Structures are given as structure tokens and as C-alpha cells.
Amino acid sequence: MGPDKECELCGREAYGLVRRDIEGAIMYVCSDCQEMGKEPAVDRKARARTAKKQKNTAKFQNIYQSGSSAPAQRRSSSSQSRGPRKPRLANLKIVDNAPQILLKTRTKQGLTTKEFAQSILIKDNYYKRIEKKTTPMSIDVARKFEKKYRLKLVEEESRGEEDDEMSKFMANDSKPSDSMIYFKKRGQKPEYDQ
């Protein structure tokens, strides 16, 4: 096998010519002449794509070798630094006078609606609608205001009498068959315990 071609800069025949950008012209040059120019931008992008593919392949190489179909465990550095998460309670509600509390706090601080909204990273329009009581405030936004300005906007919702009676009934229920629900299949009579 002979050489690939000849170098377009020095004219020597060489193996493995390399593309180089020399004074605006793309030329195929030998290894000795490649220092005269720089790598073309198109080649750099292609090389970066190839490197990224190789990196992604290397991540899952242990899966391919082991034959396991389960992906590798990810390490989450953000969850480790924050500590354990608090469980979310479903029975939380916003206090009734939350818009008045926010308005009072904003005027006390001497902030505009835009500045007040940006202080907890929400949009100005959304905050204005909260203050005018046209849009209900979410629990997450209320928590942000509480944390930033040391307010009390979220409270635990009181349970109604029906919920209390149901929990008492379920706690005192000694006969499991009394509280069973029977489903009737189409065309058949239900069979009850006797």
C-alpha cells in the first residue's frame, strides 16, 4: 500500500493526511505541516459529538457487559446536601386573610409589587392577582413567602365532624364482616358470609 496523497502544503507524499485551516483555506497536510494551521470548526464539532457519544456509551458499558436490563443507580448530590425531605401533609390550607397579610408586609417593607414578587422568584402578574384575590395562592408560593418574610400563611385544615366520626367507627369496628363491601357480578347474585 502506498501513501494516501501528497501534502497540499509541502508536496511530500504522506500517510494519514489531516485537514487544517491555513489562512482561511481548508487543506490536507502531513503531520509535519499540521502545526501551520488550526483545526477547522466543522471538525471540532464532529469530534465533540463523537466524544459525547463515547462518554454516554461508557456510562452504560457495565449494563451491556453484565447483561442486566436495569440502569445504573444515579447519585444525586443535591438531595444529599439538602438533607431528608419533610413529608407533605395533604390537609394544609392558606389562611383566609393571606392577601391582606401580604399587602401589609409589602407596604411595611416599602416594596413595589414587582420587587415583592421577584424577591421569591414569581411573576409580577401572578402576585398582583393574589393580592386582588382573583387567583388563589398555591401552598408552595405561600411557603416561600413564609420563609422569606417570616409570616404565617399556611395552617393545618381542621377535620370535620364526619371525619372524626368515621375514624372512631373504624377504630371501634370489631367485626370485619360488618364493614365488607360486596360487588355483584353481572347476572349473578352476591354471596354473603353466613
- Per-residue pLDDT tens over the stretch 121-173: 999 999 999 999 999 999 999 999 999 999 999 998 776 655 555 565 555 55
Q: What is the pLDDT of residues 160-182, one digit of tens each?
A: 655 555 565 555 554 455 556 66
Fold of 92-156: 434 Repressor (Amino-terminal Domain) (1.10.260)
pTM of the model: 0.40
Residue 166 is predicted with a pLDDT of 58
Sketch the domain layout of the chain as residue ranges. Answer: 1-63, 92-156
Nearest by Cα to 101 from 157, 153, 154: 153
SS3 string, the chain, reads CCCCEECCCCCCEECCCEEEEECCEEEEECCCCHHHCECCHHHHHHHHHHHHHHHHHHHCHHHHHHCCCCCCCCCCHHHHHHCCCCCCCCCEEECCCHHHHHHHHHHHHCCCHHHHHHHCCCCHHHHHHHHCCCCCCCHHHHHHHHHHHCCCCEEECCCCHHHHHHHHHHHHCCCHHHHCCCCCCCCCCCCCCC
User: What integer pLDDT is reported at residue 41 of this predicted model?
Assistant: 76
Instruction: Select the more confidently predicted residue: 27 or 104.
Output: 104
The predicted pLDDT at position 165 comes to: 59
